Structure 1
Amino acid sequence: MTESFRLLDVPPEVLVHILGFLPLQALHACQQSSRFLHGFVTASIELQYLIARSVAQVTDNPSSTLPISDRLRMLRSRETAFTTANPSWVTSIPVPFQMSGVYDLSAGFLFFGEDRRNALRYIQLPSERPPEGAPPVEWGRIPVSSPQSMIIDFGLAIGEHDLVVIATFTPTGPTTAVGVLQGLINLELLTMSTHRPHPESRGPIEVGTSSWGLPSSMMEVVGDYLVFGESYGGMMGGLLKPDDHVYIYEWRTGKLKMKIDAPNRSYFAAVFLSPEVLLLPNTTAATLELWTIPSEQTTPTPTLTLHLPRLASEQGINVITARGEPNPSVYPLRKPSRLPFYSSVDDSIILFHIHFPVQKFLLFIHRRTLLALLDKHTVGDTCVYADWGPGICRWLLAAGINVDWITTTSGQRSVLTPMRTTTPLFFFDFNRYMAQSHPHACLPPTDDPFSNFGIWAEPVGSRLECHASRSTETFSVYDGVSMDDERVVAFWVGRSLLSLLIAMVLISF
């Protein structure tokens, strides 16, 4: 007679391996099914780390050499610090130069453009409190290839490709008849580690000649693709309004995969929802457009168009910007994170800044739920807000909030600070486990929070779960904040003609 198999008879290390395949709810149910399993799961460092990662919705860093016990301790400590908004330490970092206005915070590196627009400056932010008397952190410098060129934007793919892409404008002739400078727009592809041309690229990508001066621009790099967009202000008192253009290239070859044209002042931001799906907020149409990057050039058409709440008559949006951090990736990281874990791309939040003439709003939507909408619609569909938005969106009024910096999210968290006042830092966490375990600290769902504003002609449902907290410490008057998985960076900004004077404080969790 064959003896029956009993799961609990297997060696402990095999049982850990088996239980590790269970989703979080199933593992929790299994733990509650017997006294033995409850004690076994509670005592297993491996399973406790798996549970903590699932609840925090972070991804394990396979290149980390730290033992699992240290990873678990660090994760629990970080989650407690962020949940209670209680930083571990605070320090200031000197900024010995003036900046131009372009900036980014990604992969633990903080970048600013120099005021003369001919170089980028950067530092790798410390993960531990600098010791007393330590020399100040040194800022690296990446110059452009030509002294005549001016930096208009840059994009980063440091972890995935060791890549920094710098968009430059190089004057090519006299001003035009309408008084603007003509120039050539190029994309320089460099390695972060050497500042030299990237060995996998075929050289700079020539976007084209601008007859409208320096554009407002946007850039993102993910996987094989680079997206660059240009938008110009109106000329001759608004009589001339050049179209916006969005270019999607294979960055290694410089091959143009898709070009999107739109009316003037339509596109100010791009977010890769996945390596093949691009989100473009359309300011003039008041929509969120999801574009699938084609294998070959085709007539450009959005895969799905999501309408924002219908505007009241005489109302219009000035600008929509957007940000999602971290970016998705295709290839193994060339420059692995120093952290033993990092925020899950799939679970991350997308933040939109929506500017009206007299009001500003913040909109938060999970990356995962935007991608899920593609499966519910056919190519070319449009969807009104009432059919897609109220249950998965969270709107916040940004009155009195500093919204000059878009780098205020990391994973599912966002940090905000009021303008021109000494105040705590305010944190918003869109992790559903956090909301479920701390319902008393969550923002209530609302069906029409802005009904008296006269901006929208339909209810603006705002029901995405959100945990809110504030720091116990009151900080100085900041002009802006940014955040990543480890820290908040706070800035004071002064202005000197066309440049910005920056002072910076690092608030580490």
Structure 2
Amino acid sequence: MSPERQEAFEVQMAEQRAALRLQEKRKARQMADSSTTATATRPVGVTLLDLPPEILTHILLHLPFTSVVICGGVNRHLQVLISESAELQYYVHLGVYGMVDNPHCGLPISERLNRLLVRERRWEELDPDFEKIIDVPVVAEHRRRHLSTGVLSILYESGVLRQVQIPSEADQEAEWKEIRTAPFLINSGMRSLEQDLHILITAQPQTVYTNAVKPHTVHEVQVHLNQLSTGEPHPDAQRTISFKMREEFGRPWVAVECVGDNLLLILRDAMEEHKPDDRIYAYDWKTGERKLEINAPFGSYRRLLFLTTHTFLLSNASNGELEYWRIPQGPSETHTPDQPFFILSLPPLSSGNVFRQIFLSAKPQPAGGLQAASKPFYTDPHRTIIIVEVTIQPVDGSRMTVFSFFVHRSSLMECLDTFSAFISSDERPTPVPYDDWGPSVCRWFSGSANGYSMGSIIRVFGQRYTSAAIGAGPLIVLNFNPIDVAKVLVAKKRHISEVKTQDERSQNVDRDKGNQYIEENQGGESARKGKEISSRTSVPGILYGPFTQGPQITSSSFSPWLQTKVVIRALDPLADPGHCFENIVYSSLPYTMRSSREKYHFEDLLLGEEHMLGARLAGMRRIKQLHIFHYG
């Protein structure tokens, strides 16, 4: 160091020492003043930790649950406060499991917390508190089945609708109820208990003579809004929603969704003969006011999904896109949209292939509403997983191929912020390419992967998807909750560490076995082929603190955690032996996969808030028996 720089350095250090002495003198003076002032009420050096526990708890409850976990991991005082507070424990575990508290439940917090932990342990171990088999009274072909708010509805080809409340107690009997429907019933839908709303849709054919030579058939569509509890017309529905088709439909087909006051309908021709335009209508079901009407070429739309109470997603099979639409919210919005305001592209197809259909499903819907007062919590709709089932067919009409991918509803909403430059309200927006938005937030599967079938969109609820192995096999549940992924990884890592500690003499052998175990159970087939796996890939670190030591990860419950497969492969290529896509499709969304100890043989499965239902069929579309698994 040169003499000049040495001198400057010494001057700087002297100035710093002088500043420190001045600061110490001021602090000593303040302490002396506070000790001699009888009216002093609070020391100058008060910190957050000096606040009473009640105020600290109140503050922590206004933070995101992830921040509460972090606070417990960095400070001993806060860790003790959080671990000993049932209110904070309940708040954190609601966030961990993707649940929302039901403020209308009268149970104490400690009881709600206990029920939550017991319920999640059952799901994690696929160990129901009871099983029950019920017979379906009429063996007939059904058109559709739907499980909502614990009620299973089966709509038969004959137009008959039958419903049963799925038992939540082992001694509760299942009683079937037949809904007397209007003629020409084509669909039904149920709202949550918030609205007590049951929707029936009829399409009555009418013969129209435009000339004396060739009459044609049109349909009058009516939306019947009834109370689910009584079957009578809903008192909040001010008038009947009805309209006539202006074009000839061989057989009207309707998809219906309802969130809050918004009712959405997709109408298309299931016969595919006359190929009239697809129609999308949005209504305020209480006033009967039509808020939105969309016309599109035949075959464009088959499914819709609410992202929020006023934003919904349409899958456009003609373009291979997911379209974002917005429902006008009131008189202030005079502009009725005639185009989507944002579009996400699916991976482009190779030459000679087309999207045959794109189905969407997620439960529960946004604004799930009030639940029964006996239910202490319910699934957070904004953190649910969406399954998108894509059917691709060569233009020559040969065999179709099915793919499915999963993405969180929150991830699709975050795309609006990430790609805000693509939003347009004046003209049709430019689609965001899949390679820009999809690989980091999606997980793709071919039509059959890892020995289980991926063929049904009715098997998803919350962040779980259920399936059964082909033939007789175990029940399989995929969980796309990233915190569940992190917890399983921690449990596996801790177990391997404990094994090493128990026998130091075989440390090297244990390390090799542990590494092989993680490779086989976390990386799967791709890891065995030499693909690099990182435990940090797409896995949040918020649970590497005190909350990894809860009742789910004690030494007595290592077995179910170690039997859980963890998939965290980043940029995992989709198996596409038929070369349906133009380029390799990558995805990275992590998940866990659990299998039941027992084996079953079901032709179909349904998943709900508390239940898993296994259906045994007589033929392709004749339900004869239901096996109920209740997890609480």
Q: Does the Cα contact within 8 Å between 2:200 and 2:225 map onto a contact in 1?
A: yes
The answer to whether residue 352 in structure 2 is matched with residue 311 in structure 1 is no
| Compared CA separation, residues 484 and 175, structure 1 to 2 (3 A) | farther
Computing the radius of gyration from Cα coordinates, the structure with the larger value is: 2
Query: Which segment is superposed worse, 78-87 or 301-310?
Result: 78-87
Equivalent in 307, 324, 327 of residue 273 of structure 1:
307
Instruction: Give the aligned partner of residue 4 of structure 2.
Output: none
Question: In structure 2, what is the Cα distance between the partners aligned to 1:105 and 1:91?
Answer: 17
Instruction: Give the aligned partner of residue 368 of structure 1.
Output: 410
Q: Does the Cα contact within 8 Å between 1:93 and 1:504 map onto a contact in 2?
A: yes
| Compared CA separation, residues 409 and 137, structure 1 to 2 (3 A) | same
Question: In structure 1, what is the Cα distance between the partners aligned to 2:49 and 2:112?
Answer: 27
Instruction: Give the aligned partner of residue 221 of structure 1.
Output: 258
Helix, strand or coil at the partner of 1:442: strand
Give TM-score scaled by structure 1 length. 0.90
| Compared CA separation, residues 178 and 241, structure 1 to 2 (3 A) | farther
The answer to whether residue 595 in structure 2 is matched with residue 493 in structure 1 is no
Q: How does 1:59-138 map to 2 (within 5 A)?
A: 59-97=100-138, 98=140, 100-117=142-159, 119-130=160-171, 136-138=173-175
Question: In structure 1, what is the Cα distance between the partners aligned to 2:100 and 2:214?
Answer: 53
Helix, strand or coil at the partner of 1:241: coil
Question: In structure 1, what is the Cα distance between the partners aligned to 2:594 and 2:216?
Answer: 48
Question: In structure 2, what is the Cα distance between the partners aligned to 1:175 and 1:89?
Answer: 60
| Compared CA separation, residues 207 and 502, structure 1 to 2 (3 A) | farther
Q: CA deviation at 1:152?
A: 1.1
Helix, strand or coil at the partner of 2:358: strand
How many pairs were matched up?
492
Question: In structure 2, what is the Cα distance between the partners aligned to 1:501 and 1:31?
Answer: 51
Q: CA deviation at 1:455?
A: 0.6
Q: How does 1:214-293 map to 2 (within 5 A)?
A: 214-233=251-270, 240-293=274-327
| Compared CA separation, residues 129 and 174, structure 1 to 2 (3 A) | farther
Question: In structure 1, what is the Cα distance between the partners aligned to 2:455 and 2:617?
Answer: 11
Question: In structure 2, what is the Cα distance between the partners aligned to 1:100 and 1:178?
Answer: 34
Code of the residue aligned with 1:394 in structure 2: it is R
Question: In structure 1, what is the Cα distance between the partners aligned to 2:300 and 2:316?
Answer: 5
Q: Does the Cα contact within 8 Å between 1:201 and 1:251 map onto a contact in 2?
A: yes
Equivalent in 230, 238, 250 of residue 202 of structure 1:
238
Equivalent in 373, 381, 386 of residue 345 of structure 1:
381
Question: In structure 1, what is the Cα distance between the partners aligned to 2:133 and 2:314?
Answer: 36
Code of the residue aligned with 2:622 in structure 1: it is L
Question: In structure 1, what is the Cα distance between the partners aligned to 2:416 and 2:244?
Answer: 33
The answer to whether residue 467 in structure 2 is matched with residue 416 in structure 1 is yes
Equivalent in 152, 160, 166 of residue 194 of structure 2:
160
Equivalent in 597, 608, 614 of residue 472 of structure 1:
597
Q: Does the Cα contact within 8 Å between 1:242 and 1:264 map onto a contact in 2?
A: yes
Question: In structure 2, what is the Cα distance between the partners aligned to 1:348 and 1:310?
Answer: 26
Q: CA deviation at 1:221?
A: 0.4
Instruction: Give the aligned partner of residue 627 of structure 2.
Output: 505
Q: Does the Cα contact within 8 Å between 2:251 and 2:270 map onto a contact in 1?
A: no
| Compared CA separation, residues 178 and 408, structure 1 to 2 (3 A) | farther
Q: CA deviation at 1:249?
A: 1.1
Instruction: Give the aligned partner of residue 492 of structure 2.
Output: none
Query: Which segment is superposed worse, 274-283 or 298-307?
Result: 298-307
Q: Does the Cα contact within 8 Å between 1:87 and 1:507 map onto a contact in 2?
A: yes
| Compared CA separation, residues 493 and 178, structure 1 to 2 (3 A) | farther
Instruction: Give the aligned partner of residue 484 of structure 1.
Output: 608
Question: In structure 2, what is the Cα distance between the partners aligned to 1:364 and 1:424?
Answer: 22
Structure 1 gaps of 5+ residues are none
Instruction: Give the aligned partner of residue 579 of structure 2.
Output: 454
Question: In structure 1, what is the Cα distance between the partners aligned to 2:253 and 2:215?
Answer: 18
Question: In structure 2, what is the Cα distance between the partners aligned to 1:253 and 1:46?
Answer: 41
CA deviation string 1:455-476 (max 9, x = no partner)? 101221111121111112211x
Structure 1 or 2: more helix by fraction: 2
Q: Does the Cα contact within 8 Å between 2:326 and 2:337 map onto a contact in 1?
A: no
Helix, strand or coil at the partner of 1:368: helix
Question: In structure 1, what is the Cα distance between the partners aligned to 2:102 and 2:457?
Answer: 26
CA deviation string 1:157-216 (max 9, x = no partner)? 132211111111223238999998543211111111221111111232113236213222
Q: CA deviation at 1:85?
A: 2.4
Structure 2 gaps of 5+ residues are 1-33, 35-39, 394-399, 490-521, 523-564
Superposed CA RMSD: 2.4
Q: CA deviation at 1:225?
A: 0.9
| Compared CA separation, residues 462 and 140, structure 1 to 2 (3 A) | same
Helix, strand or coil at the partner of 2:302: coil
Equivalent in 197, 221, 225 of residue 189 of structure 1:
225
Instruction: Give the aligned partner of residue 49 of structure 1.
Output: 90
Q: Does the Cα contact within 8 Å between 1:315 and 1:455 map onto a contact in 2?
A: yes
Q: Does the Cα contact within 8 Å between 1:218 and 1:228 map onto a contact in 2?
A: yes
Structure 1 runs (4+) greater than 6 angstroms displaced: 174-180
Question: In structure 2, what is the Cα distance between the partners aligned to 1:150 and 1:402?
Answer: 34
Q: CA deviation at 1:312?
A: 0.1
Instruction: Give the aligned partner of residue 486 of structure 2.
Output: 436
| Compared CA separation, residues 242 and 142, structure 1 to 2 (3 A) | same
Question: In structure 1, what is the Cα distance between the partners aligned to 2:218 and 2:623?
Answer: 29
| Compared CA separation, residues 447 and 406, structure 1 to 2 (3 A) | closer
| Compared CA separation, residues 8 and 501, structure 1 to 2 (3 A) | closer
| Compared CA separation, residues 384 and 35, structure 1 to 2 (3 A) | closer
